Amino acid sequence: MASIVSDGVSNFARLLADANAEALSGSTVTALGRDEQPILNGVPYRVFRQSIDLCERRREGIFFSGPDLAREVAGLLHAKMPVGGLALDPTCGIGDLLLAYAEHLPIEATLEATVDSWGRQLAGIEKRAELAAMARARLVVLARARGRFVEPVARIDGCFPAIIVGNMFEESERIAQADGLLFNPPFGQTSDHTVSDWGTGQLSASALCLDSLVAKRAPAAPIAAVLPEVLRCGTRYARFRTRLADAGLGGHFASRGRFDAWTNVDVFTTLLESGVSYLWQLPAIVSATVGNRFTVRVGSVVPHRHADEGRWYRFACAKTVPAWSTGFVPETGRRFQGTTHVPPFVVVRRTSSPGDRKRAVGAIILGDSPVAVENHLIVLTPNDGRFESCAELLAVLARDATTDYLNRVIRCRHLTTSSVMGIPWVATDE
């Protein structure tokens, strides 16, 4: 492994052999995080670029997402997926999108069980066999690194059986089985097609691939994608956009600028879903937020640091406040000398992961005297002092749209006051 990093070996086949060895025996992975691990970070793409000339990569559209874009796209899809659902990337390359999606999947008791379980939730199609093999090896390495597993694996070729070498245009059945799709297709131009109703002549391969994917997918399967801006803005693709809208697909978009240094293509990310009435509009500017109506602070009591001294107060802590309570009066108390809060107010648990069903779990605190609050809770005091405002806030926090918003803005495992202040204030489901 050290050789790859230190002498920049420009041989993808050799790197693949190393990746397989790493996946089988795991000599170094467990000591390294995801982004320092050569097989998991930019090294495979770098070695691949050194191995295949740019003209061929442009002709075949072989440019990989990289971790930042991949995590954004995977996050968009994961927020919409059923637990245990099957995510498929029909042009998976070395698996950047699949790896980013696998970061959301749970670790099982053993490496074998983890690979087995991920193998039932991850599928891919890739034209080039060496890229599909690298995707499979990297996923095993990721499972090792995340689970800190050291046990060997008997055979790598049995792992991730749903990542196959193939042509997405010929894989209707496989695509129809997916609950959701990750998508970063080739971006180049091609006249090798039979389309006539929405375009003629040279067309972007990405449009042809997307068109085929839309036709083959299960009707409810969302598509989280990186696509070239020309599909969204180009007049040549107006009929293509109408075709997507007519197929009942819609979704917001976010422009992401130039894809990378080699492609010279501007891209956007999007989540396409059935039954959304607008296609590629900007999210509405949100003027009303939780922060306009509530003062948002972190609780001040750090139990192991603050001495039990000062005035006696009722004490709210993450362990004792019942989730979604509409009126909890803390029975236990403690002495405290710092900031306290006058009910009614809402507390939200700070610990919150992108995989949680609800990201902002709240409860209303009532009582007739100030309350000391543990620092594992965020305190939201209504500016108008009314209980009714707290009840409305609880409804806002429980909305799926609030969880979606938090999943977009805060990927780590703790909510921040600014992420909570930015929650859009829309009390009823639209």
Ligand X SMILES: C[S@@+](CC[C@H](N)C(=O)[O-])C[C@H]1O[C@@H](n2cnc3c(N)ncnc32)[C@H](O)[C@@H]1O
For ligand X, which is the closer residue by CB, 131 or 207?
131
Q: Would you give the distance in Å from CA 123 to the centre of its chain?
A: 16
Q: φ, ψ for residue 314 (rounded to 5)?
A: -65, 150
Minimum distance, C-beta of residue 44 to ligand X, in the bound complex (Å): 10
- Is the previous residue joined to 38 through a cis bond, with omega within 30 degrees of 0? no
- Rounded CA-CA distance 409/255 in Å is 16
For ligand X, which is the closer residue by CB, 62 or 210?
62
Helix/strand/coil for 117 = helix
For ligand X, which is the closer residue by CB, 226 or 390?
226
- Residue 119 corresponds to which tokens in the numbers above? 């193998």
Give the CB-nearest residue to ligand X.
Answer: 93
For ligand X, which is the closer residue by CB, 75 or 186?
186
- Is the previous residue joined to 344 through a cis bond, with omega within 30 degrees of 0? yes
For ligand X, which is the closer residue by CB, 229 or 374?
229
Minimum distance, C-beta of residue 295 to ligand X, in the bound complex (Å): 43
Let me know: does 119 contact 160? Beta carbons within 8 Å. Answer: yes
For ligand X, which is the closer residue by CB, 228 or 299?
228
For ligand X, which is the closer residue by CB, 74 or 347?
74
For ligand X, which is the closer residue by CB, 112 or 260?
260
For 29-56, b/e burial (b = at least 16 CB within 10 A) is: beebebeebbbbbebbbebbbebbeeee
Q: DSSP characters for 375-418?
A: TTEEEEEETT--HHHHHHHHHHHHSHHHHHHHHHH--SSB--HH
Minimum distance, C-beta of residue 269 to ligand X, in the bound complex (Å): 11
Q: Which residues pair with 255 in a beta bridge?
A: 268
Residues that bind ligand X (CB under 6 A): 60-65, 89, 91-93, 96-97, 125-128, 131, 167-169, 184-186
For ligand X, which is the closer residue by CB, 86 or 423?
86
Minimum distance, C-beta of residue 127 to ligand X, in the bound complex (Å): 4
Let me know: does 186 contact 228? Beta carbons within 8 Å. Answer: no
Minimum distance, C-beta of residue 284 to ligand X, in the bound complex (Å): 29
Minimum distance, C-beta of residue 60 to ligand X, in the bound complex (Å): 5
Minimum distance, C-beta of residue 215 to ligand X, in the bound complex (Å): 14
What residue type is assigned to position 106 of the chain? Answer: P
Minimum distance, C-beta of residue 65 to ligand X, in the bound complex (Å): 3
What is the number of other CB atoms lying within 10 angstroms of the CB of residue 195? 13
- Rounded CA-CA distance 171/219 in Å is 16
For 288-302, b/e burial (b = at least 16 CB within 10 A) is: ebbbebbebbbbbbe
Minimum distance, C-beta of residue 182 to ligand X, in the bound complex (Å): 7
- Residue 337 corresponds to which tokens in the numbers above? 């000398």
- Residue 232 DSSP one-character state: H
